Amino acid sequence: MDLIPAPQRAARNADGHLSLDSGTGLEAGPGTEGVARWLRATLGAATGLPFPEARDHDRRIVLGIEPGLPAEGYRLAVTPTGAELAGGGPAGLFWAAQTLRQLLGPDAFRRAPLPGRHWRLPLVRIEDAPRFRWRGLLLDVARHFMPKEGVLRYLDLMAAHKLNVLHLHLTDDQGWRVEIVRYPRLTEVGSWRARTKFGHRASPLWEEKPHGGFYTQDDIREIVAYAAERHVTVVPEIDVPGHSQAAIAAYPELGNTDVIDTTTLSVWDTWGVNPNVLAPTDTTLRFYEGVLEEVLALFPSQFVHIGGDECPKDQWRRSPRAQARIAELGLADEDELQSWFVRHFDTWLSARGRRLIGWDEILEGGLADGAAVSSWRGYGGGVAAARAGHDVVMCPEQQVYLDHRQDPGEDEPVPIGFVRTLEDVYRFEPVPPQLTEDEARHVLGTQANVWTEVLEDHARVDYQAFPRLAAFAEVAWSRLPAPAERDFAGFEGRMAAHYRRLDALGVAYRPPAGPRPWQRRPGVLGRPVDGPPPIK
């Protein structure tokens, strides 16, 4: 059946097919209205079929909620007289509809019907449910801005692969991408930089033109609503206390003004770990509380990501105000000062019914009980967090940073980072084997990260993300055997059909045979290549 991700149980009931035509009705039970709308809008556009309300139709698609199934689990049965889709909840039913779409063939992924197509479903019975509840993708829209239409497109691509968390990296040294009404300079100043460095850190050249953009609050509301219709949760990231030069450029009082003249700072135009970090002052705390008040009103997600990574402490060591704060709080050092900063926002978010999540550096100096950890520097942070009783999302850079190169060949465009092939991603295991059964329960799931220092447009994002995101989606959803025992040859066989789905969706993926001529190393705007792995 060539389904991706692979279902738990799937079997053909018999030879033959169920044919769909203009008379095929759609019967939507209570609680299924959202999925019915999606089926009529999306499959209706691709097939040209109206899917009218089922009454006396000989053939019908029946949608229902069956509480006995897991919330994201589903059952799909196709017989000669119709198809029945049942989900444990609306999300499970939606994933059943995504499977139905795959069964219809690649042209079901188009936006308008092609002439001469006949629509048939194989006679099958499928029972399925996900392994993890957090099946995520990070999109870094701070380094290179992705317009709203691109984000909506990626939500559709995520839904097609049964991924359910979009981690939206909204702020960094190189750009602030979300409108904050009470602090308009964050986008007036912080959303644009004068130029952008080609390639990566060692590159000596810049593209001498402004780059930027931001999402209005209505844009964010639209993105969140569009995601919710596809059962995807959008988790915002607002970086503190490092990765903050864009905010300091807009509001210089946020920086360590007793160490440097922050009024001379602009939005950063290069990559790397930036020494200009937020000052640990009450002014900074109140400012970011104001930011987060507006963020919480826009994003209903349980989790809010605060970054917390790669925060150099040199300015704090030299800052009389920072040292006075350390003494006032009775802290041991600057690491504990960062921990105090993170704990403040953990308490603030908890009081508002939300949960803080941050990169694994937030473990340094101690972590508040309710906080969760995104483990990016390998498995170590996730293991330490789970053993300390913290929930974890596994996203180690060595396995699932999709901006890293896909092949050691010289023709890879801007071949930065570790070589991670399609097979490498397919053999990624999110749960470290050294965790006990109780500790492993703290692994909420896993996430693939797409950082955009060298991904200047949607075609470059597509090339880095696909087809590896399809392999990652199977790892996140399916209950696969141990990495060494996984049937990668079988996965490649199913990908032969999946590439045609990606073609229909217009995804500029890396072909299995290697880059197309226009995707090769010399063709990326003439940009030079360098070697160091990317940083966040």
Among candidate residues 144, 243, 305, 458, the one labeled active-site is 243
Write b or e for each residue in 166-177: b if 16 or more Cβ atoms lie within 10 A of its Cβ, otherwise e. bbbbbbbbbbbb
Among candidate residues 140, 172, 391, 462, the one labeled active-site is 172
Q: Any catalytic annotation for residue 503?
A: no
CA 8 vs CA 297, 376, 476, 515: distances in Å: 38, 29, 13, 33
Amino acid in position 434: Q
In whole angstroms, give the CA distance from residue 414 to residue 424: 20
Q: Any catalytic annotation for residue 243?
A: yes
3-state secondary structure of 353: coil
Amino acid in position 456: E
Write b or e for each residue in 108-123: b if 16 or more Cβ atoms lie within 10 A of its Cβ, otherwise e. bbbeebeeeeebebeb
Helices (H), 357-506: 380-387, 397-400, 422-426, 437-440, 458-465, 468-477, 488-505
| Phi and psi at residue 450, to the nearest 5° | -120, 95
**In contact, 271 and 535? CB cutoff 8 Å:** yes
In whole angstroms, give the CA distance from residue 71 to residue 82: 24
Q: Any catalytic annotation for residue 172?
A: yes
Q: Three-state SS string across 261-324, please?
A: CHHHCCCCCCCCCCCCCECCCHHHHHHHHHHHHHHHHHCCCCEEEEECCCCCCHHHHHCHHHHH
Among candidate residues 66, 229, 310, 503, the one labeled active-site is 310
DSSP result, 88-107: SSHHHHHHHHHHHHHHH-GG
Which residues are the active-site residues? 172, 243, 310
